[in-house]
Amino acid sequence: MAAGRDSGAADTPTMRQYLEFKQQVPDAILLYRMGDFYELFFEDAIRAAEILELTLTSRNKNDPDPIPMAGMPHHALEPYLLRLVEAGCKVAIVDQIEDPAETKARGDKLVARDLVRVVTPAVPWSPDAVDARERCWLAGVAVEGRGGGRLGIALLDVSTGELRVTEVEDAEAAARELAGHAPRELVLHPAVADLAPLAALARGLSTTVPAPAAFDREVAEQRLCEVLHVADLLGYGAAELGPALCAAGALVAYVRDTARVDLSHVTRLDIYAVTGRMVIDPATRRNLEILRPLWGTGRKGTLLGLLDRTATAMGGRLLRDWLSAPLVEVPAIQARLDAVEALQEPSLRASVRARLRLVADLERLGSKVAQGTASARELVALRGSLEALPGLAALVDPLPALAPARCADPLPEIAADIGHWLVDEPPIALTEGGMIRSGVHAELDEVLDLARQGKGAIARMEARERQRTGIQSLKVKHNKVFGYFLEVTQANFDRVPDDWMRKQTLANAERYITPELKDFEEKVLGADERSKALEYVLFTELRQRVAAQVARLQAAARGVAWLDVVASLAEVAATSRYVRPVVDAGDRLEIMAGRHPVVESMPMDEPFVPNDLVLDEGRRLAILTGPNMAGKSTVMRQAALIVLMAQCGSFVPAAHAHVGVADRIFVRVGASDDLAHGRSTFMVEMSETALILNQATRRSLVLLDEIGRGTSTYDGLAIAWAVAEAMHDQVGARTIFATHYHELVSLSEDKEHVSNLHVAVSEWGEQIIFLRRLEEGGASQSYGIQCARLAGMPAAVVARARELLAELERRPRHGPPTRQLGLFAPAPKQAPAPPPGPSPVEAALSAVNPDELTPKAALELVYRLKSLER
């Protein structure tokens, strides 16, 4: 880049210093402090000027080759930083680290500067820059040896100090695991950065690929030991780990050494096994709208939005984690369900939730305390939260089901320490005093007393002088420039005694000082300054004492977050009429009177119709047919959501549910059903379906919604048919296949474990009425034309479509594939066999109930029958 040149405007001591810093962080936008401004140069200036709408100028305008430059006032740094990071930039901040006066005293011209922080999407300026209920994951991926072996994943949430690691078999699994965490930023080993699944994930994310040395195993262990203050990692059970530690080491280097963020709030290494979790691939995650809606933003219409009644931000974040990674081990699921059940007791639940509301975000407060950025107000909030813990413990401790929430250690001495020192409502600023209680520190009391005495003496003097001079309006005032002074209004100028010294004349007042006043002033101001400085010291000492306990604080926070999540699930269960599912290791799925949790919670014109669904040994594969808009997609998704909720430990929207644990859930939606999402081409649909055939097991739950739709009818039917066969013959997963290809209905004649379901509709003349009822057997026809009519298609077009349909039905065409014919048999060219079954006229007649016909409908029927005549 242009910054490389060393002549002209760039060749000044300042610009040389600038370029040295720039070299350290070439991929970051560099903010360079000059006096009251942060300046940007070269490409950085151009880019930032565009993002921030700053005025672009240039340094050294007369130079033939001027340097582009932009700047922002230093006090406006935070909002600008936020916008740059939101635009996906990394931002490096170079500050002046000495007073320019010191520079002069040294006889130097160049102010000493240092790179103090690099701010990135996952390493924000402050934990407050991240929405309280959002995660802030930075993810690292490393690989064993030179690649080809296992992959290690590390995840660090800088806002809370959580560090977790795991290892997986391949890049596919790594990408899946990462997607579940939705990281804001990636740090990838060069050997994995180009692997397709990871490269796809990295698209659109801020990604750094450091040199392989950053992932060195030994250095990684050393770094982790430093951060965790341990001699070795054996206590964490890390002996078995390889690439996971390398990934964690690279993250520490990135955050601590490059971004220069203090990691004293990282107190544990959490090693987790992906095998204990249900695997949910990104397409399924999206289609089920677990955390994000398919369309739009926010949480409306998502499972998270529905289930999140947590009282604390910690609980909100943990619920997100639970929904992202449901469990597969029955005892672990039962333990959560036990807790939700215990909290069904209304008064217990109400008390628990009321107390949870008193608890602030202990995790992020803990981070700030450990990093030395917590304010006095935040310490007071911390105290209030800690004081709420014993009340929670009294409710929770007697109940074995709530054991994980038991906080053996509510840190009473920390709450007491904060309560002892800090007033209940300290000011925002840390340097203006007013934070420390009186009566807790003798020296502080003495200094404050001096200041108070001085102020009292000044007040007494004011009264005395008022009497002596007879100036009733006489006031002693104070400002930063002149200190204390006596102010006299114009009307009283002639009463001013000789021993006052005039200091300043205003439009209609004069200001005076006296030696006595200046004497008091010195005492007051001196004492004031000393008390403020002393308060600051006492405050930081307190903060350090709390910081030393941050690991205990985090442990307490985990208990509270857990309790908050189960209480939230219990609340939703109670208010939405959910039941406790029966969960076991079998492979039965039985849902009685199940509802779609999100759809039923939305305002609707019609009441939600519950449905039964059983998938078991006899029915591994259900072919689900029914007209458009009948409710096929809804009933399938509701099954998936019920299984997912159950395995998260939640009660479920049904009258009864029996869930044999699923190791994975796959949900695929045919291309044309997902067009608005923009990415679902037919190819994507096919590759996603291929993935299922390769990865699903007998224990999986597979939902295929209109697969094979994005291509021509015969292609589509052929693909749908072959996929269904493969699911049945080879995979054997519990599967529901919703399709508009009625031909698939005949699969059940052939295949032992296939059966048909349809969503029932009834006809009323030319109307169809959606019953929303799931029934055995296949749908008889597709009702496409009735749907078109319902959708407001012009009557003439509907009539023409009817005509064409009748025409098509009269013509030779494929019958449904039969065993004898086989699906791929060529279409009969001539001598069509007579169409099987009743003729169109007969069919239309059999659908009519004469007793229900109005005279007008009867006449219409005659016309219709006439048009169907062969």
Q: Which residues bind Mg ion (CB under 5 A)?
A: 633
| Residue of 629, 691, 841, 843 interacting with ligand ADP (CB under 6 A) | 629
Q: Which of 426, 433, 631, 670 binds ligand ADP (CB under 6 A)?
A: 631
Site for ligand ADP in 232-291 (CB under 6 A): none
If binding is defined by CB under 6 A, does position 189 make contact with ligand ADP? no
- Residue number with CB closer to ligand ADP (326 or 670): 670
Q: Crossing angle of helices 515-547/412-421, nearest 10°?
A: 170
Side chain identity at residue 604, one-letter code: M
State the minimum distance, in angstroms, from the CB of residue 78 to ligand ADP.
Answer: 44
- Does the footprint of ligand ADP cover residue 517 (CB under 6 A)? no
Q: Is 756 an interacting residue with respect to ligand ADP (CB under 6 A)?
A: no
Instruction: Return the residue of 626, 716, 817, 840 that touches ligand ADP, per CB under 6 A.
Output: 626
**Shortest distance (Å) from residue 52 CB to ligand ADP:** 43
Q: How far is the CB of 606 from ligand ADP (least distance, A)?
A: 5
Instruction: Report the partner that residue 599 touches, choosing among ligand ADP, Mg ion, none (CB closer than 5 to 8 A by kind).
Output: ligand ADP
Q: Is 740 in the site for ligand ADP (CB under 6 A)?
A: no
Nearer to Mg ion, 310 or 634 (CB): 634
Report the distance separating Cα 746 and Cα 502, nearest Å. 108
* Angle, CA of 687, 693 and 699, to the nearest 5°: 135
> How far are the Cα atoms of 809, 810, 833 from residue 836, in angstroms, in the given order?
11, 12, 8
Using the minimum distance from each CB to ligand ADP, give the nearer residue, 209 or 599: 599
Closer by beta carbon to ligand ADP, 132 or else 790: 790
Contact indicator for 811, 828 with CB cutoff of 8 Å: no
Segment contacting ligand ADP by CB under 6 A, of 466-474, 522-530, 630-638, 803-811:
630-638
From candidates 632, 709, 728, 742, binder to ligand ADP by CB under 6 A: 632
Other C-beta atoms within 10 Å of 2: how many? 11
- Output the CA–CA distances (angstroms, integers) from residue 807 to 287, 604, 801, in the order listed: 38, 39, 10
The interface region with ligand ADP, picked from 196-204, 627-635, 651-659, 748-756 by CB under 6 A, is 627-635
In the bound state, the residue with its beta carbon closest to ligand ADP is 631
The residue among 383 and 772 lying less far from ligand ADP, judged by its C-beta, is: 772
DSSP string, 396-437: HTT-GGGGGG--S---HHHHHHHHHHB-SS--S-SSSS--BP
User: Per-residue x/- mask for ligand ADP, residues 556 to 595, rule CB under 6 A?
Assistant: ----------------------------------------
Please report, for residues 413, 418, 547, the alpha-carbon distance to residue 541 in angstroms, rounded to integers and kept in the order given.
15, 11, 10
Give residue for tokens 């007071």: 380
408 token code pair: 């053996």
- Give the nearest distance from C-beta 588 to ligand ADP in angstroms: 22
* Burial bucket for residue 82 (CB in 10 Å: 0-12, 13-18, 19+): middle
Q: What's the min distance (Å) between Cβ of 787 and Mg ion?
A: 12
- The token pair that represents 105 in the structure block: 């005293």
Q: Which stretch binds ligand ADP (CB under 6 A): 39-47, 168-176, 436-444, 623-631?
A: 623-631
The side-by-side arrangement of strands in the sheet containing 206-208 is 206-208, 185-188, 137-143, 151-157, 162-168, 270-271
Q: What letter would DSSP give residue 548?
A: T
Cβ closest to ligand ADP, residue 236 vs residue 608: 608
633 lies in the site for ligand ADP, by CB under 6 A: yes
Name the phi and psi angles at 851, rounded to 5.
-65, -20
634 interacts with ligand ADP by CB under 6 A: yes
CB of 211 to ligand ADP, least distance (A): 51
In the bound state with ligand ADP, the residue whose beta carbon lies nearer, of 250 and 630, is 630
Residue 772, phi-psi category: left (phi > 0), alpha (psi -120 to 50), beta (remainder)? left
Q: Which 761-820 positions form the footprint of ligand ADP (CB under 6 A)?
A: 772
Closest contact distance (angstroms) between CB of 623 and Mg ion is: 14
Residue 410 contact among Mg ion, ligand ADP, none, beta carbon within 5 to 8 Å by kind: none
E runs forming strands in 765-829: 767-776
- CA dihedral 851→855→860→863, nearest 10 degrees, is 100
Collect all residues with Cβ–Cβ distance below 8 Å to 147 and sequence separation of at least 6.
Answer: 191, 192
606 binds ligand ADP (CB under 6 A): yes
Shortest gap between Cβ of 645 and Mg ion (angstroms)? 21
- Contact residue for ligand ADP among 37, 236, 272, 608 (CB under 6 A): 608
Instruction: Check if the beta carbon of residue 223 is closer than 8 Å to that of residue 132.
Output: no
The secondary structure of residue 706, as a DSSP letter, is S
Nearer residue to ligand ADP within complex by CB, 113 or 758: 758
Would you count residue 628 as binding ligand ADP (CB under 6 A)?
yes
The vertex-682 CA angle with 680 and 684, nearest 5°, equals: 55
Residue 87 found at the interface with ligand ADP (CB under 6 A): no
CB of 609 to ligand ADP, least distance (A): 4
Rounded CA-CA distance 38/20 in Å is 17
Judge whether 649 and 336 are in contact, CB under 8 Å.
yes
CA gap 632, 625 in Å, rounded:
7
What's the closest the beta carbon of residue 404 comes to Mg ion, in angstroms?
40
Count of residues that bind ligand ADP according to CB under 6 A: 13
In the chain, the amino acid numbered 107 is: G
Q: Could you list the residues that contact ligand ADP (CB under 6 A)?
A: 599, 606, 608-609, 626, 628-634, 772
